[in-house]
């Protein structure tokens, strides 16, 4: 059986236009839960209900709607904003006898700022007018040039019951073309209600977005950072093992206190997504329908999810933002909020009377330093051009930071791991970044690191051609200041060794490098060769052979390059002499049988000082085998 699809619907509209009555007529649930709301006859705070609709298209078995009923009175718009931060569809409610009113317009602008682009209009109290066609035409005219220009308008009356079934059908038709809430593996539940139940403990509710939460899971309350465990989850009044995106969700968090540890505006999420923010770089816009500008330095209320904090607006290059204009800016908050890159928000005036602007978060963790630098502006412009796409966010992040751990890339963003990985792969294929180990590195920075490493290796070849190459520890020290992360060193060496360079033990050299003595050592090496050649089977001791530092360096070169062989601490032979002596010993033993040290010393005409370590070396090499005082040949 096909699974139902979950959606969140929020009412919108002027006070006294019948939002709560309509929700009750549709669902059977009275969303006005507060005694004061009953007494005053208006919605003050958020109300909640749920509704199941049959699907209008093949696929899902039904649509399960969480309905958020918001206040329409101008004194409670702040509560309205808290309820519409994560909705899929707006249910506009306009009374036929009143028509379009100031709060209807303000709610429209708020929904537009938050990126809501689907709506159904309920023309309520239709029983109070005669010319319903004219009333519907007036609403259609008000919605022109808005995201809801094509929204269906359904005449209704909760008194007579007219239009309620048509309204449900209209909701189902619009939802049939609405994508289900995405599971991006980043669950967030903005808390809009907190209460305590006897014997159960603290319960928080909100609209779950971005991912799933599981019973028994450890979560974090942001911005405080307090840790809690989910004892139980409810959705639509049913206990569930798993809360899914796009549902009204209640979490039982028994190990935190309702008044002290969690409140409206907090976010329940997971620890790996980082901490809260107090400064945000943003793209701001003032609706063309607005009647006032937003000024640089303005004190505002920042509304995000269910959070509401004071903030100061600082523009990068504008003195004010007129209706219909957009600009880059920074919000400096007086409190902490938990925000992702790509999140939308609303700004209202500091008195909470008027909606001023909206926008999208471009960077949730900026710095005040270099605020108006060209590099910062370029970074933000790139993101502002396509705030819903992962590619510009990934590209700008790597261009700014030069290198990023892929596991940490844009964790605090509205993009899934797959979105980010696809963007990284595309940028790598286009040559804009390099994948190195667990890092994504700006291609220009990677090439710079390669050049600096190559230059360091070449410099060592020039100054010390007698050496195999540059030690890896020396190369790490040379590059230390240029490496964005110390862990990038191994991937860099690996990349160098895939072409042009080769690692030999703990050193690295260019493939074409051939060791050679520098001029100051060439004369000493020539003298060593002559001395060793003069008495090839009985050379002088090492101290006599290389009595000073220059001759010692030259001798070390001959040994490292294989021209000479260190038989013991005091005996050095040329490689050719060692080969000839070993062959003579083999031949003597083959012809005469087991041979003593004395026999072989006389055969080679060398001293005991040389023959003893030589035979020990041949024993180790598996050429001869000692048996008492005699040597035999090892069996092959």
Burial class, 159, CB count within 10 angstroms (exposed 0-12 / middle 13-18 / buried 19+):
middle
Q: What is the dihedral of CA 598, 603, 605, 606, to 10 degrees?
A: -50
Q: Which of 50-59, 168-177, 289-298 has the lowest mean pLDDT?
A: 50-59
Predicted confidence (pLDDT) at residue 77 exceeds the cutoff of 60: no
pLDDT score of 62? 85
- Tell me the pLDDT of the chain averaged across its residues: 89
pLDDT band at 30 (very low <50, low <70, confident <90, very high): low
Mean pLDDT of 86-94: 89
Average pLDDT over residues 402-424: 96
Same domain assignment for residues 200 and 227: yes
Q: What is the rounded distance in angstroms from the CA atom of residue 506 to the CA atom of residue 486?
A: 18
In a domain, 484, yes or no: no
Provide φ and ψ at 559, rounded to 5°. -70, -45
Mean pLDDT of 21-37: 67
Whether 222 and 246 share a structural domain: yes
Give the per-residue pLDDT at 72: 41
Same domain, yes or no, for 34 and 88?
Answer: yes
Which tokens go with 335? 């409190």
Looking at the chain, the whole-number percentage of residues with pLDDT higher than 70 is: 93
Q: What is the pLDDT of residues 36-75, one digit of tens each?
A: 323 333 232 356 788 888 876 666 778 888 888 765 434 3
Is residue 233 within 8 A of residue 252, CB to CB? The reply is yes
Of the pLDDT bands very low, low, confident and very high (cuts 50, 70, 90), residue 298 is: very high
Q: Are strands 119-124 and 153-155 parallel, antiparallel or unpaired?
A: parallel
Instruction: Assess whether pLDDT exceeds 50 at residue 459.
Output: yes
As a 3-state breakdown, the chain gives helix, strand, coil percent values, each rounded to 5, of: 35, 30, 35
The answer to whether residue 343 sits within a structural domain is: no
DSSP tag of 608: H
Query: What percentage of the chain exceeds 90 in pLDDT?
Result: 65
Q: Do 523 and 566 fall within a single domain?
A: yes
- The tens digit of pLDDT for each residue in 591-601 reads 999 999 999 99
Helix or strand or coil: residue 306?
A: coil
Kindly state the tokens that stand for 354.
């008027």
Q: Which of 213, 242, 273 is the last residue of a domain?
A: 273
- In this prediction, residue 78 has a pLDDT band, given cuts at 50, 70 and 90, of low
Arithmetic mean of pLDDT, 557-582: 92
CA 118 to chain CA centroid, nearest Å: 30
Contacts of 525 (CB under 8 A, 6+ apart): 517, 554, 557, 558
Asked if residue 559 and residue 616 are part of one domain, the reply reads yes
At residue 126, the pLDDT reads 94
Which residues have CB under 8 Å from 199's CB, separation 6+?
none
pLDDT at 380: 95
User: CB neighbours of 56 closer than 8 A, spacing ≥ 6?
Assistant: 169, 172, 173, 175, 176
Q: Both 158 and 193 in a single domain?
A: no
Exposure of 157 in the CB half-sphere (CA atoms within 13 A): 12
Q: Is 493 helix (H, G, I), strand (E, B) or coil?
A: helix
DSSP state of 234: E
CATH number for the domain including 212? 2.40.30.10
User: Tell me, what's the pLDDT at 36?
Assistant: 38
pLDDT of residue 351: 83
Query: Strands, E, within 97-200: which ranges?
Result: 119-124, 153-155, 189-197
Instruction: Say yes or no to pLDDT of 198 above 80.
Output: yes
In a domain, 244, yes or no: yes
Q: Of 207, 205, 210, 265, whose CA–CA distance to 230 is shortest?
A: 205
* Range scoring the smallest mean pLDDT among 11-15, 125-129, 488-492, 497-501: 11-15
Could you tell me if 15 and 136 lie in one domain? yes
Structure tokens of 554? 């030259």
Helix (H) or strand (E) segment spanning residue 229? strand 226-229
46 lies in some domain: yes
**Amino acid 636: pLDDT:** 66
Q: How high is the pLDDT of residue 42?
A: 28
* Residue that wins the pLDDT comparison between 267 and 519: 267
In sequence order, the 6+-apart residues with CB closer than 8 A to the CB of 112 are 146, 147, 287, 358
Q: Which of 208, 240, 273 is the last residue of a domain?
A: 273
Q: Do 90 and 130 reside in the same domain of the chain?
A: yes
Q: Are residues 209 and 250 in the same domain?
A: yes
> Are 513 and 461 in contact, with CB atoms under 8 Å apart?
yes
Could you give the C-alpha distances from 320 to 94, 200, 325, 350, in angstroms and in order?
33, 51, 9, 17
SS (H, E, C) 150-168: CCCEEECCCCCCCCHHHHH
The CATH number of the domain where 107 resides is what?
3.40.50.300
pLDDT at 71: 53
Per-residue model confidence as pLDDT tens digits over 208-220: 999 999 999 999 9
pLDDT digits (tens, 9 = 90+) for 303-328: 998 889 999 999 988 899 999 999 99
Report residue 315 as tokens: 């523009």
Task: Count up the domains in the chain and report the number.
Answer: 3
| Residue 269 located in a structural domain | yes
Whole-number Å distance between alpha carbons of 237 and 423? 40
Give the domain-ending residue among 224, 241, 273.
273
Q: How confident is the model at residue 28 (pLDDT cuts 50, 70, 90)?
A: confident
166 and 237 fall within a common domain: no
**Same domain (yes/no): 158, 32:** yes
Joined tokens for residue 594: 């087991």
Query: Do 83 and 33 lie in a common domain?
Result: yes
Question: CA-CA distance, 493 to 589, in Å (whole number)?
Answer: 50
Domain containing 196 equals 189-273
CATH of the domain at 541: 1.10.10.10
How many Å apart are CA 285 and CA 287, to the nearest integer? Answer: 6
- DSSP-derived secondary structure for 501-555: EEEETTEEEETT------HHHHHHHHHHHHHHHHSTTSPPPHHHH--SHHHHHHH
In a domain, 87, yes or no: yes
* Structure tokens given for 207: 């609209």
Please, are residues 95 and 121 in contact by the beta-carbon 8 Å criterion?
Answer: no
Is it the case that residue 430 has pLDDT exceeding 60?
yes
Based on its alpha-carbon atoms, the radius of gyration of the chain, rounded to whole angstroms, reads 39
Does residue 342 lie in a domain region?
no
Burial 37-52 (b: 16+ CB within 10 A, else e): beeeebbbbbbbbbbe
Q: Is residue 54 part of a domain?
A: yes
């Amino acid at each position: 059986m096909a699974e139902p699809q979950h959606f969140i619907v929020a009412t919108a509209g002027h006070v006294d236009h019948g939002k709560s009555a309509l929700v009750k007529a549709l669902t059977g649930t009275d969303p006005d839960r507060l005694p004061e709301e009953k007494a005053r006859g208006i919605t003050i705070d958020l109300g909640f209900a749920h509704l199941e609709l049959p699907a209008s298209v093949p696929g899902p078995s039904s649509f399960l709607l969480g309905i958020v009923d918001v206040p329409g009175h101008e004194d409670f718009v702040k509560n309205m904003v808290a309820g519409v931060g994560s909705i899929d569809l707006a249910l506009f409610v306009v009374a036929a006898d009143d028509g379009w009113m100031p709060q209807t317009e303000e709610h429209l602008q708020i929904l537009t700022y938050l990126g809501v682009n689907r709506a159904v209009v309920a023309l309520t109290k239709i029983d109070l007018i005669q010319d319903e066609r004219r009333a519907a035409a007036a609403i259609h005219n008000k919605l022109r040039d808005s995201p809801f220009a094509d929204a269906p308008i359904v005449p209704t009356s909760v008194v007579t019951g007219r239009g309620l079934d048509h309204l449900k059908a209209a909701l189902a038709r619009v939802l049939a073309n609405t994508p289900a809430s995405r599971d991006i593996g980043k669950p967030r539940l903005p808390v809009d209600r907190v209460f305590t139940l006897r014997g159960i403990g603290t319960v928080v509710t909100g609209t779950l977005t971005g991912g799933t939460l599981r019973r028994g899971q450890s979560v974090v309350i942001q911005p405080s950072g307090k840790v809690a465990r989910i004892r139980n989850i409810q959705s639509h009044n049913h206990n569930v093992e798993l809360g899914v995106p796009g549902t009204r969700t209640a979490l039982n968090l028994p190990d935190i206190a309702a008044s002290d540890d969690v409140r409206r505006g907090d976010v329940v999420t997971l620890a790996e997504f980082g901490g809260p923010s107090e400064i945000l770089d943003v793209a701001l816009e003032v609706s063309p329908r607005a009647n006032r500008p937003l000024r640089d330095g303005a004190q505002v209320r920042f509304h995000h999810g269910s959070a509401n904090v004071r903030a100061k607006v600082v523009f990068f290059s504008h003195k004010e933002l007129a209706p219909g204009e957009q600009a880059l800016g920074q919000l400096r908050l007086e409190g902490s909020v938990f925000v992702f890159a790509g999140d939308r928000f609303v700004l209202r005036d500091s008195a909470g009377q008027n909606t001023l602007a909206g926008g999208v978060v471009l960077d949730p963790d900026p710095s005040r330093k270099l605020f108006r630098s060209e590099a910062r502006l370029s970074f933000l412009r790139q993101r502002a051009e396509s705030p819903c796409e992962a590619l510009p966010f990934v590209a700008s992040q790597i261009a700014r930071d030069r290198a990023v751990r892929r596991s940490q890339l844009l964790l605090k963003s509205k993009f899934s791991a797959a979105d980010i990985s696809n963007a990284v792969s595309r940028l790598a294929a286009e040559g804009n970044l390099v994948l190195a180990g667990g890092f994504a590195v700006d291609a220009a920075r990677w090439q710079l690191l390669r050049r600096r490493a190559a230059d360091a290796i070449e410099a060592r070849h020039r100054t010390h051609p007698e050496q195999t190459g540059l030690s890896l520890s020396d190369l790490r020290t040379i590059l230390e200041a240029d490496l964005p992360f110390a862990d990038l060193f191994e991937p860099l060496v690996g990349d160098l060794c895939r072409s042009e360079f080769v690692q030999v033990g703990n050193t690295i050299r260019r493939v074409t490098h051939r060791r050679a003595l520098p001029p100051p050592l060439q004369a000493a090496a020539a003298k060593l060769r002559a001395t060793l050649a003069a008495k090839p089977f009985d050379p002088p001791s090492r101290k006599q052979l290389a009595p000073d530092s220059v001759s010692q360096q030259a001798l070390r070169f001959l040994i490292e390059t294989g021209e000479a062989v260190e038989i013991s601490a005091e005996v050095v032979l040329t490689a050719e002499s060692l080969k000839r002596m070993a062959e003579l010993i083999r031949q003597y033993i083959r012809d005469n049988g087991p041979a003593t040290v004395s026999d072989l010393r006389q055969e080679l005409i060398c001293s005991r000082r040389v023959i003893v370590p030589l035979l020990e070396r041949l024993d180790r090499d598996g050429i001869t085998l000692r048996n008492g005082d005699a040597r035999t040949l090892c069996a092959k």
